[in-house]
Amino acid sequence: MRIIKILLALILILLIPQLTLAKDMIDFKEVDVLLDNSSVKINLTYSVEPIQKLQMFLFGALPVKEELQKLFGSDVEFLSVTLESAVIELKSDVEDNTYYFSGIELPDSANVRIIVSGTSLEIGNTTEIPSFYYV
């Protein structure tokens, strides 16, 4: 009987992310965009639902990584993922020796900053990381 209860609990834990939307799973707080030559590093600060905390405890960062990958695309490189933050890296496009970042829609609003050579440009509370060109 105990084994059946444990199996049912595990099945529920595995199925819940399939039933929730990414915007319900991750609540973004701050997004810092760091420009670094041909790549863009994005530092995300967020909170996750208690069930995702349990899943991360049991199965590691995979549930949060999957949701972030859906949001940022398959070409994202994860530098770190924790319960409260993640650092990802995206490659920039190059047009006429100028780098281009195409921007990203966020599922909910967050405080967004763009940081270039130590200088911070405060975008504010928004639902997108804007597209921009940089050298």
- 46-87 pLDDT, tens digit per residue, is 998 887 777 777 778 887 888 888 888 888 999 999 889 999
- Top pLDDT among 50 and 126 is at 126
Using DSSP's 3-state secondary structure scheme, residue 92 falls into: coil
CB-CB neighbours of 82 under 10 Å:
12
Give the pLDDT confidence score for residue 11 in this predicted structure: 66
pTM of the predicted structure, to 2 decimals: 0.77
User: CA–CA distance from 108 to each of 7, 68, 70, 128 (Å)?
Assistant: 34, 13, 14, 8
Average pLDDT of the segment spanning 32-55: 86
